[in-house]
Structure 1
Amino acid sequence: MQDSFYNHVKSGEKNLNDLEGKILRYIVSLRGDIEQATSKGIAAHFYVAPNTIVRLAHKLGFTGFTELKHSYLLSLERNRYTIETIPLDLQIIQTKDLVHDITINKVVDAIEHAGHIVFFCSGFSKYPCLEMAEKLKIMGKNTDTLSERHVMRHYAELLGPDDLVFSVSISGETEVSIDATSIAKSRGSKIVTMTGISKNSLSKLADIPLFTVEKQVRFGNMDLDSRLMFHYVFEMIFERFFERTQQAEMES
């Protein structure tokens, strides 16, 4: 049996540079549309030569783009309805290993000093953000949660150095989140990102990047990925913030 597309990606991704990683994520995002895609068309999308796409395929262990495309199409057919079998306990352990105690303290410092906290999110990622925002609001912080494309961009243009932005996305490649976060960063806002563990464009914008172990769930073309680890990391952050707040009140 031939190795699956994702086995090739797992073994070869470490050999990719940043641009090749971005091209690979774009190819994966095409899903069924990959059938009509060509190496020349993908190269034109990224303003590179077609042999860049061929080199990417070689680094992943394919003979060329045609074999890569065929492997991906087979993978899509096999996995139209899938759920990764990562045990919940393992997700928590691995995510906890990714989010160091020092990092949690840095995020809590940022929350304490922020005059205003904004959450940029979309899809199911908005639910852990809404919960965290409401908890912080109860604790006296001024918070907003934004998930609509045009509102996020407009709001970002109004932010400044006194604002803290949490930008949350499983893939870290959600265009609207990258766009709004880039604007907020250019205006001096502090940026905390929360994404899956893979290299991604959003985390590169962060003052404090947070990574979680994601669990993929697919129903056809629908993204039903678990956001449970987002809830988990937000809970760790909130508990630390709550403890500090209580200690400060006792000392005052």
Structure 2
Amino acid sequence: MGFYDKLEQHRKNLNDNEEEILTYLLNQGEQLDDITIREVAGHFYTSPTTIVRLTQKLEFSGYQQFKDDFLAALAIQTSLGELYSLDNMIIKTKQLINEEAIHKMTRTIHEADNILFFAVGLSRFPAEEFSERLKIIGKQSQTFIDPHIMKHNAQIMSEKDLAIAISISGRHQSNVYAATSRAKIAGAKTLSITGFSSNALANLTDLQLYGFSSPLKINGLDATDRFSIHYLTNYLFDKYIEQYLHLDTSIT
């Protein structure tokens, strides 16, 4: 299992303090090679045992294996040549993809009578594109502009329906989370596509996809790109038509 696979599967097991430490470690990049476990512990006024426990929650044997595997993952990216930030986002996002999970998602999409997308702001654009592409292949799919209508439709879903929630932050206090919670209570299957973090929306849903992004606010407004979200929705759609329409998406 690769470095990012372990993070994807086990990051939700971390508490808030451990999440903060993990974010710090990942942000060090190649410089982490020169940082000892005692230095990390000292930075957070905690003990080395806490750092070891954190890495073991992520299925590493300890801090050294975490560091070695992280640096190896960075080396793979570097070997691909000089990359722009968008290239790095896609490489990291691709490393997070679990093919077994993708297979479950395509099957869930195939079996769903109706597919409702919950997304607001800039996340509506990948949701709308995915929804329209599903309509082309005969699936009943819908997006919403008004969050009140979105939440109303969520609560009248059934166990034969699928809710796909898209949110970079995945935060608890949001219309997307509220709609997804109502859909889940109604018995619908739920799938989330969020930024790579331990977040409330991903913890709520039955199935999860994660993408890397660079948070950006301008004059207090969210301007974070959804490039990795577009990548994931396209990847999921391509896998669906390969499996159920038997089309070779590698042919252009």
Is the TM-score greater than 0.5?
A: yes
Distance in 2 separating the partners of 1:152 and 1:223? 21
Whether the aligned pair in 2 keeps the contact of 1:120 and 1:147 (CA below 8 Å) is no
Name structure 1 gaps, 5 residues minimum.
Answer: 1-12, 23-58, 63-84
1:218 alignment partner in structure 2: 217
**Number of aligned residues:** 179
1:136 alignment partner in structure 2: 134
2:169 alignment partner in structure 1: 171
For residues 73-123 of structure 1, what are the alpha-carbon distances to aligned partners after superposition, in whole Å with 9 as ceiling and x for unaligned?
Answer: xxxxxxxxxxxx961111111001111111111110111000000000000
| TM-fit CA distance, 1:16 | 7.0
Aligned positions of 1:156-195 closer than 5 A: 156-173=154-171, 175-195=174-194
TM-score by length of 2: 0.65
2:103 alignment partner in structure 1: 105
Please tell me the residue identity of whatever aligns with 1:214: S
For residues 181-219 of structure 1, what are the alpha-carbon distances to aligned partners after superposition, in whole Å with 9 as ceiling and x for unaligned?
Answer: 111001110000011111111011111011110122221
**Root mean square deviation, CA, Å:** 2.8
Please tell me the residue identity of whatever aligns with 2:167: S
Could you say if the C-alpha distance between residues 157 and 60 of structure 1 is closer, same or farther in structure 2, counting changes exceeding 3 Å? farther
Distance in 1 separating the partners of 2:120 and 2:237? 21
**Moved runs in structure 1, 4+ residues, more than 6 A?**
13-16, 19-22
Distance in 2 separating the partners of 1:218 and 1:86? 20
| TM-fit CA distance, 1:168 | 0.6
Please tell me the residue identity of whatever aligns with 1:91: M
Aligned positions of 1:60-75 closer than 5 A: 61=44
Could you say if the C-alpha distance between residues 91 and 104 of structure 1 is closer, same or farther in structure 2, counting changes exceeding 3 Å? same
| TM-fit CA distance, 1:246 | 2.6
Whether the aligned pair in 2 keeps the contact of 1:129 and 1:145 (CA below 8 Å) is yes
For residues 18-72 of structure 1, what are the alpha-carbon distances to aligned partners after superposition, in whole Å with 9 as ceiling and x for unaligned?
Answer: 59979xxxxxxxxxxxxxxxxxxxxxxxxxxxxxxxxxxxx9849xxxxxxxxxx
SS at match of 2:179: helix
1:125 alignment partner in structure 2: 123
Please tell me the residue identity of whatever aligns with 1:88: L
Could you say if the C-alpha distance between residues 171 and 130 of structure 1 is closer, same or farther in structure 2, counting changes exceeding 3 Å? same
Could you say if the C-alpha distance between residues 87 and 187 of structure 1 is closer, same or farther in structure 2, counting changes exceeding 3 Å? same
1:206 alignment partner in structure 2: 205
Name structure 2 gaps, 5 residues minimum.
Answer: 1-10, 21-41, 46-82, 248-252
| TM-fit CA distance, 1:245 | 2.8
Q: Give the % identical residues.
A: 35
